[in-house]
Amino acid sequence: MGSIDTGNILSGLDIASSIAEADDGLVSENPATGRAIACVRRDESGKIETVLAASRVAFRKWREVPAPRRGALVRALGEQLRRHRDLLGTLISLETGKIKAEGDGEVQEMIDIADLAVGLSRQLYGNTMHSERARHRMFEQWHPLGPVGVITAFNFPAAVWAWNAFIAAVCGDTIVWKPSPKAPLTALAIHRLACDVAQQHGAQDVFGLLISDEAGVGERLAGDPRLPLLSFTGSSAVGRKVATAVASRYGRSLLECSGNNAVIVDESADLDLAVRAIIFGAVGTAGQRCTSTRRLIVHESCYAELIDRLLAAYGQVCVGDPLAEGTLMGPLIDAPARAAFVAAVAEAEAGGGQVLCGGKSLEGPGYFVQPTLIAARNDLPVVQRETFGPILYVMQYRDFDQALAMQNAVPQGLSSALFTLNLRHAESFLSASGSDCGIANINLGTSGAEIGGAFGGEKETGGGREAGSDAWKTYMRRQTNTINWGSDLPLAQGIEFTLAGNRNDL
| Chosen residue from 52, 171, 187, 290 binding ligand UN1 by CB under 6 A | 290
Judge contact between 139 and 126, C-beta under 8 A: yes
- Nearest-CB residue for ligand UN1: 449
Contacts for 82 with CB less than 8 Å, ≥ 6 apart: 111
Please give the Cα distance from 82 to 84 (Å, whole number): 6
Cβ 155 to ligand UN1, closest distance in Å? 5
Task: Give yes or no for residue 62 binding ligand UN1 (CB under 6 A).
Answer: no
Task: Give yes or no for residue 233 binding ligand UN1 (CB under 6 A).
Answer: yes
What value, to the nearest 5°, has the Cα angle with vertex 430 and ends 427 and 436?
Answer: 150
Give the dihedral of Cα atoms 213, 219, 222, 224; nearest 10 deg. -100
Please give the Cα distance from 410 to 389 (Å, whole number): 18
| Closer to ligand UN1 by Cβ: residue 224 or 256 | 256
At residue 298, the 3 state secondary structure works out as: strand
Cβ 271 to ligand UN1, closest distance in Å? 23
| Closer to ligand UN1 by Cβ: residue 263 or 449 | 449
Cβ 156 to ligand UN1, closest distance in Å? 5
What value, to the nearest 5°, has the Cα angle with vertex 402 and ends 401 and 406?
Answer: 120
Please identify, among the stretches 90-98, 317-325, 419-427, 441-449, the one whose residues bind ligand UN1 according to the rule CB under 6 A.
Answer: 441-449
At residue 205, the 3 state secondary structure works out as: coil
Judge contact between 41 and 18, C-beta under 8 A: yes
- Mask: binding to ligand UN1, 88-127, rule CB under 6 A, as x and -? ---------------------x------------------
Please identify, among the stretches 217-225, 285-293, 343-351, 400-408, the one whose residues bind ligand UN1 according to the rule CB under 6 A.
Answer: 285-293
| Closer to ligand UN1 by Cβ: residue 258 or 396 | 258
| Closer to ligand UN1 by Cβ: residue 15 or 88 | 88
* HSE of 343, CA atoms in CB hemisphere, 13 A: 12
DSSP-assigned letters across all residues of 153-168 = -SSSTTHHHHHHHHHH
Task: Give yes or no for residue 291 binding ligand UN1 (CB under 6 A).
Answer: yes
With 0-12 CB in 10 A as exposed, 13-18 as middle and 19+ as buried, what is 480?
Answer: exposed
Task: Give yes or no for residue 253 binding ligand UN1 (CB under 6 A).
Answer: no
Cβ 27 to ligand UN1, closest distance in Å? 23
At residue 258, the 3 state secondary structure works out as: coil
Cβ 445 to ligand UN1, closest distance in Å? 9
Task: Give yes or no for residue 449 binding ligand UN1 (CB under 6 A).
Answer: yes
Give the number of other CB atoms < 10 A from CB of residue 223.
Answer: 15
Give the dihedral of Cα atoms 8, 14, 18, 22; nearest 10 deg. 20
Task: Give yes or no for residue 333 binding ligand UN1 (CB under 6 A).
Answer: no
Catalytically annotated residues: 256, 290
Task: Give yes or no for residue 412 binding ligand UN1 (CB under 6 A).
Answer: no
Task: Give yes or no for residue 160 binding ligand UN1 (CB under 6 A).
Answer: yes
20 phi and psi, to 5 degrees?
Answer: -70, 140
Judge contact between 258 and 235, C-beta under 8 A: yes
Give how far Cα 187 sits from Cα of 151, 181, 183, 390, Å: 11, 9, 7, 25
Please identify, among the stretches 67-75, 155-163, 183-191, 389-397, the one whose residues bind ligand UN1 according to the rule CB under 6 A.
Answer: 155-163
Task: Give yes or no for residue 447 binding ligand UN1 (CB under 6 A).
Answer: yes
Binders of ligand UN1 among residues 350 to 409 (CB under 6 A) are none
Cβ 113 to ligand UN1, closest distance in Å? 10
| Closer to ligand UN1 by Cβ: residue 206 or 290 | 290
| Closer to ligand UN1 by Cβ: residue 69 or 276 | 276
Binders of ligand UN1 among residues 190 to 219 (CB under 6 A) are none
Judge contact between 431 and 440, C-beta under 8 A: no
Judge contact between 250 and 401, C-beta under 8 A: no
Please give the Cα distance from 381 to 36 (Å, whole number): 35
Closest CA to 317 of 290, 286, 346: 286
Task: Give yes or no for residue 454 binding ligand UN1 (CB under 6 A).
Answer: no
| Closer to ligand UN1 by Cβ: residue 104 or 109 | 109
Task: Give yes or no for residue 234 binding ligand UN1 (CB under 6 A).
Answer: no
| Chosen residue from 62, 156, 166, 280 binding ligand UN1 by CB under 6 A | 156
Closest CA to 490 of 134, 139, 137: 134
| Closer to ligand UN1 by Cβ: residue 116 or 198 | 116
DSSP element (H, E) containing 262 = strand 261-265
| Closer to ligand UN1 by Cβ: residue 78 or 456 | 456
Please identify, among the stretches 152-160, 315-323, 398-406, 498-506, the one whose residues bind ligand UN1 according to the rule CB under 6 A.
Answer: 152-160
| Chosen residue from 90, 155, 186, 461 binding ligand UN1 by CB under 6 A | 155
Footprint of ligand UN1 on this chain (CB under 6 A)? 109, 155-156, 160, 233, 289-291, 447-449
